[in-house]
Structure 1
Amino acid sequence: MADDVHVVYKVNGAGARKGGATAALSRLFTRGPAPGMREVHAVKGVTFVAYKGEAIGLIGTNGSGKSTLLSAIAGLQPVARGRIYSHGQPSLLGVNAALMNDLTGERNVVLGGLAMGMSKQQIRERYQSIVDFSGINEKGDFISLPMRTYSSGMGARLRFSIAAAKDHDVLMIDEALATGDAAFQRRSQARIEELREQAGTVFLVSHGIGTVRETCDRAIWLEAGVLRMDGPADEVCDAYERFTSGR
């Protein structure tokens, strides 16, 4: 549950490096702000309740606050005002989630599984299914190569496959389905359905409205940090497409 959630963060703007060390020390002792520092009010008073078994799509134009909201739900981004309540442990999967590029895919499966809370025994039992699900070995033994040799799509598929191998109370996916081919997207959507049947809750951030329609039964539309619409996925996606087509 998100209750009147506001997220504000600071970014360095033009002039942030001016002034040198002396000016920086002066600001430190006077508690003054750095020049060029500005606040971004990324999420503005968002309230909703998510229920077990739901798959909820988060849609909106670039910079609308979707990924920031997911980070706040996962506890990775502090909220300025409001509260977030959860009956389970949220897990955030983004395509930019860091794996270790100098290690092989095989080693990253182990490390990623441990990071997701799986035991070594569970990783051993699920290892082959993770590799098969990702499809990265379909054209060669890529799992034994360093991650730096992977394309961005291969890396994203492996990250999703590791996360999908574990049952989650709340799984949040940030654009992970946009990088796979049609076969991988079908596997991903089937896995999301399994997670829902196991009483989990799934949030999906995607610019692909078709993916949200096919995968989610509910959608939340954020625009400029404000919750603009929350309802059945088809209705919200229709309204969003009318909005974007008229811009």
Structure 2
Amino acid sequence: MIKRDAVPAVSVAREPTVVVDDVHIVYRVHGAGSGKGSATSAMSRILSRKRGAGVREVHAVKGISFTAYKGEAIGLIGSNGSGKSTMLAAIAGLLPTEKGGIYTNGQPSLLGVNAALMNELTGERNVILGCLAMGMTPAQVKERYQEIVDFSGINDKGDFISLPMRTYSSGMGARLRFSIAAAKTHDVLLIDEALATGDQAFQQRSKRRIDELRGSAGTVFLVSHDNNSIREVCERTIWIEAGELVMDGPTDEVVGRYERGERP
């Protein structure tokens, strides 16, 4: 009998893209609770260089830790005011941490329904400026422009892309924002409620595009109150409540417990 050496199993190391390490985020609300919130009193404090006594601290995120890996789509769920969007903004680098650290491999890009486009400019100009702001070259913008417009569906009922953004409905604006952001491959894409807008066809296009982004790039985070979107897009879900991490695991298990109100 020929004896063969055992072949060790080949383990594929997962590549971390985001490490959140014991993160605390605190908002400070000035002029709260002491009747000192008027513009006059604020100006007086500025001129006298005195700190107002009525400063209230809101501990929005409390010691959250997790690691995200390349190729993952991660849902963030929780009730209103739980800290989901705050956590997303902190990963994007828009909010400082009071304690702990956030480390990213690549540049996170935050896409939300309130992402800034310029209302006085046409949709066409916003597409061009948005793509250039993401680092695309003029040649790349020209190449992808029609695809972005078609994906958004802005022109399905007329030539709206040539009109100022202020004439758009909130849903049209959100669809165009998502279409611009999705035109580029991102290291880490952060989506805040963007899939809640648009008709069923646009939502399906968005989900397919997220799958493409996952396959060609890094990690996708999705904050949504639509649990069906979380189930369809994400295989992993993080449940945050009152600023604390309640559960982190497979989406079906985490969302199921969340819907039943069952904390682990």
Q: In structure 2, what is the Cα distance between the partners aligned to 1:229 and 1:149? A: 42
- Which 5+ residue runs of structure 2 have no aligned equivalent? 1-18
1:206 aligns to what?
224
1:59 maps onto 2:77 in alignment: yes
2:36 aligns to what?
16
Asked if the contact 2:122–2:164 (Cα under 8 Å) also holds between the matched residues in 1, the reply is: yes
Asked if the contact 2:70–2:217 (Cα under 8 Å) also holds between the matched residues in 1, the reply is: yes
1:86 maps onto 2:104 in alignment: yes
1:234 aligns to what?
252
Runs of 4+ in 1 over 4 A off after TM superposition: none
Aligned-residue RMSD, C-alpha: 1.7
Q: Structure 1 or 2: larger helix share?
A: 1
- The correspondence for 1:195, drawn from 206, 213, 217, is 213
Instruction: Report the CA distance between 1:38 and its aligned residue.
Output: 1.0
Q: In structure 2, what is the Cα distance between the partners aligned to 1:107 and 1:59? A: 34
Instruction: Report the CA distance between 1:20 and its aligned residue.
Output: 3.1
Decide whether aligned partners of structure 1 residues 181 and 27 sit closer, same or farther in structure 2, where only a CA change above 3 A counts. same
Asked if the contact 2:20–2:65 (Cα under 8 Å) also holds between the matched residues in 1, the reply is: yes
Instruction: Report the CA distance between 1:10 and its aligned residue.
Output: 1.1
Residue correspondence of structure 1 range 89-168 to structure 2 within 5 A: 89-168=107-186
Instruction: Report the CA distance between 1:198 and its aligned residue.
Output: 0.9
1:45 aligns to what?
63
Q: In structure 2, what is the Cα distance between the partners aligned to 1:2 and 1:25? A: 35
Amino acid at match of 1:49: T
Q: In structure 2, what is the Cα distance between the partners aligned to 1:22 and 1:116? A: 38
- Which 5+ residue runs of structure 1 have no aligned equivalent? none
Q: In structure 2, what is the Cα distance between the partners aligned to 1:152 and 1:194? A: 26
Q: In structure 2, what is the Cα distance between the partners aligned to 1:179 and 1:213? A: 17
TM-score of the two chains, using structure 2 as the length reference:
0.88
Asked if the contact 1:16–1:37 (Cα under 8 Å) also holds between the matched residues in 2, the reply is: no
Cα displacement string for residues 40-99 of structure 1 (whole angstroms, at most 9, x for unaligned residues):
111100000000000000000000111111111111100010011111110001110110
- Share of identical aligned residues, percent? 69
1:71 aligns to what?
89
Structure of greater Rg = 2
TM-score of the two chains, using structure 1 as the length reference:
0.94
1:170 aligns to what?
188
Instruction: Report the CA distance between 1:124 and its aligned residue.
Output: 0.5
Q: In structure 2, what is the Cα distance between the partners aligned to 1:111 and 1:75? A: 22
Decide whether aligned partners of structure 1 residues 20 and 180 sit closer, same or farther in structure 2, where only a CA change above 3 A counts. same
Asked if the contact 2:36–2:42 (Cα under 8 Å) also holds between the matched residues in 1, the reply is: no
SS at match of 2:261: helix
Cα displacement string for residues 132-158 of structure 1 (whole angstroms, at most 9, x for unaligned residues):
000011000000000000000000000
Asked if the contact 1:174–1:205 (Cα under 8 Å) also holds between the matched residues in 2, the reply is: yes
Q: Which moved more, 1:228-237 or 1:6-15?
A: 6-15
SS at match of 1:103: coil
